Amino acid sequence: MIDLPNCPQCGEGYTYKDNHLYVCPMCFHEWTDADMEAAELASKTFDFNGAELADGDSVTTIKELPLGKDRLKQGTKATKLKFLNLK
């Protein structure tokens, strides 16, 4: 049996392949392999140099950043990063 991915929209496992598209009969969402790769890449976070950042990494700001009424000064170190997936 072919392993098909779960629907990225509703998470159901009842997907089927129709030519080059994956189709979810539960929510009628359609997607391609390229869409899945683009979504996976978009969910990753990269620094200025292109290195992928992960939970627990440490970074240093390269310029002053506004943060509400306050500002983070250049050179401020942030440790133990935690990325939240807010949709």
Phi, psi of 52 (to 5 degrees): -75, 135
pLDDT value at residue 23: 94
Tokens of 15: 């997907």
Q: Which residues contact 53 (CB under 8 A, 6 or more apart)?
A: 45, 46, 47, 59, 81, 83
Residue 73 burial (CB count, 10 A): 10
CATH fold of 1-43 reads N-terminal domain of TfIIb (2.20.25)
When pLDDT is cut at 50, 70 and 90, the band that residue 1 belongs to is low
pLDDT per position as a tens digit, 5-41: 888 888 888 999 998 999 999 999 999 988 888 877 7
Domain map (residue ranges) of the chain: 1-43, 47-87
